[in-house]
Amino acid sequence: MRLQILNAIVLLIFVFSCEGVDTNGNESKSEGGSDLNSTAKLYEDIKKTTDDNLRLSLYNKIIEIDPQDSYAYYGRAAIYKKLGQYDNAIQDFRLSIRVDDPNHPPTKQEIYCDRGDVNAILGKHYNAIEDYSAAIAIDPKFSRAYQGRADSYLKLGKHEEAARDQQTVKALLSDTVLSKQ
Cis peptide before 140 (omega within 30 of 0): no
Query: Given this chain, do its domains 1-18+31-106 and 108-181 carry the same CATH topology?
Result: yes
- The pLDDT of 7-13, averaged and rounded, is 37
Please give the CATH number for the structural domain made up of 1-18+31-106.
Answer: 1.25.40.10
Question: Quick one: fold of 108-181?
Answer: 1.25.40
pLDDT > 90 in the chain, percent: 67
Q: CA dist 83 to 64, 71, 77, 161, Å? A: 22, 18, 10, 32
| Complete DSSP assignment for 76-142 | HHHHHHHTT-HHHHHHHHHHHHHS--TTSPPPHHHHHHHHHHHHHHTT-HHHHHHHHHHHHHH-TT-
Q: For 118-145, what is each residue's pLDDT tens digit?
A: 999 999 999 999 999 999 999 999 999 9
pLDDT of res. 179: 60
Looking at the predicted structure, is the pLDDT value of residue 165 above 90?
A: yes
pLDDT of res. 98: 86
Q: For 60-77, what is each residue's pLDDT tens digit?
A: 999 999 998 989 999 999
Looking at the predicted structure, is the pLDDT value of residue 149 above 60?
A: yes
pLDDT of res. 28: 33
Sequence ranges of the domains in the chain? 1-18+31-106, 108-181
Rounded CA separation 119/143 (Å): 18
